[in-house]
Structure 1
Amino acid sequence: MVAARELLTIALPKGTLYQESVKLLGLAGLNTEGIKEPGRQLLLYSAEDVVRFIICRPTDIPTYVEYGAADLGLVGKDTIVEQHKDVYELLDLQFGGCRFVVAVPEGKETNLAFWNQTRVATKFPRIAEEFFRRQGMQMEIIKLHGNIELAPIVGLAEMIVDLVSTGRTLRENKLVPIADVLSSTTRLIANRVSHRLKNERINPLVERLRQVVEEAYTHGSH
């Protein structure tokens, strides 16, 4: 049996960030053969690296890491900011880039201050609230779980705060960005206790990841 202090548990995000996460860990020297294709298994081991991989929803990763069920996790900055969990952010992995914008219906574009004291629909109330507070604006934040583009169309809210990568969904729903809120990329996060107790395992991996990211960034592959 491997001692708990030796085993490193890494939480990987299901979905769009999965393949890039696996690729990056492989480039950093971990054996990722068994996890290249996400199957039904949610728990996978690399015996030679003494690493266990947990495959879970991106929004659950900060919780696994905060409570120590995972030592490390790969997750978007947007999730970290929105959830405000007590985790240690180690590294910007510089992939999975997207941005948050404030968007309003076409034809209603005007400066942001004009919209003070109106309603905003979003899946990310904390991010929206902090942004508008910094602007000195008092908004009514309405939390929705999906299809927030619908909110201005049916009169539920005057504007939305949402995550965009290409902007296509906004265009299809005749919405126009009027302000940038936050840029997000994938980050490496650590459990605070693990970072201290397993530093001999974590620090070399972080350094290898840092080198891989810098190399990729230098050669423009991200």
Structure 2
Amino acid sequence: MRFVLPKGRLLQGSLGLLQKAGISLRPPGERRLIERVGNYEVLLARAFDVPVYVEYGIDVGITGSDVLEERGSDVLVPLELPFGKCRLSLAMPGERIAEPEEMDGYRIATKYPRITRRFFEGLGVEVEILKLHGSIELAPKIGIADAIVDIVETGETLRANGLVEVTKVMDVSALLLVNRIAQKTKFEEINELVFSIKEVIRDGT
């Protein structure tokens, strides 16, 4: 079975959960892309690429629900996982607070253009979306955007940059993703994995 795991904040939670479910993987070393451990192969990828790898052939992956929503990849999601909990929120400078319904013509910086567009369309509000890949909080600070849509965990980064959370766009958690073909060709293995992870979650260990 082949796994693709996300680099960054979800990696340790992913490895820990799988280990408790009886699958001990080690991530590839710095210069290796794939690590083989017994009958398993593990790849490390950017969280945003994980759903694409799973859709196009890797058996199992873990990434955030924000990423899957943004990507819209055609994968199975048998389980929500008990880590990576945070939220995707709309935030703006404290001195220029406005309600989302009043943001017609505003420029919103985000790495989630699809989710952001859908959120504002649902309110009947037209905004300009500026897609950035990192340090989204800088955009309002330097005057190139009016607000941002980004991941919020504690809110400390927002506060440090003079930003205030205006509203939550969606809750976020880690998800288990399964390739649709693998679900059929490796039915027993995949089901056993899902069952083992369910047991770990249920026991809260």
Structure-2 separation of matches of 1:172 and 1:194: 45
Structure-2 separation of matches of 1:178 and 1:187: 26
Structure-1 separation of matches of 2:136 and 2:16: 32
Other structure's SS at 1:177 match: strand
6, 9, 20: which one pairs with 2:13?
20
Structure-2 separation of matches of 1:166 and 1:86: 31
Structure-2 separation of matches of 1:148 and 1:171: 13
Structure-1 separation of matches of 2:186 and 2:175: 19
Matches within 5 A, 1:113-128: 113-128=101-116
171, 189, 197: which one pairs with 1:201?
189
Other structure's SS at 2:90 match: strand
157, 163, 168: which one pairs with 1:180?
168
103, 127, 133: which one pairs with 1:139?
127
Kindly provide the amino acid, as one letter, of the partner of residue 193 in structure 1.
I
Query: CA RMSD for the aligned pairs?
Result: 1.5
53, 56, 59: which one pairs with 2:42?
53
56, 71, 77: which one pairs with 1:67?
56
Could you tell me whether the CA contact under 8 Å between 2:100 and 2:120 is conserved in 1? no
Structure-1 separation of matches of 2:107 and 2:8: 31
Q: Find the counterpart in structure 2 of residue 9 from structure 1.
A: 2
Which structure 1 residue ranges, 5 or more long, are not aligned? 1-7
Higher Rg = 1
Kindly provide the amino acid, as one letter, of the partner of residue 112 in structure 2.
F
Kindly provide the amino acid, as one letter, of the partner of residue 171 in structure 1.
R
Could you tell me whether the CA contact under 8 Å between 2:5 and 2:44 is conserved in 1? yes
Aligned length: 204
* CA-CA distance at 1:38 after TM superposition: 5.4
Instruction: Please report the TM-score for the alignment, with normalisation by the length of structure 2.
Output: 0.93
Other structure's SS at 1:107 match: helix
Q: Find the counterpart in structure 2 of residue 4 from structure 1.
A: none
Kindly provide the amino acid, as one letter, of the partner of residue 17 in structure 1.
L
Instruction: Please report the TM-score for the alignment, with normalisation by the length of structure 1.
Output: 0.86
Q: Find the counterpart in structure 1 of residue 35 from structure 2.
A: 44
Which structure 2 residue ranges, 5 or more long, are not aligned? none
Structure-1 separation of matches of 2:103 and 2:49: 33
Per-residue CA shift, 1:95-147, capped at 9, x if unaligned?
01121111111122232212223111111101111111112211111111222
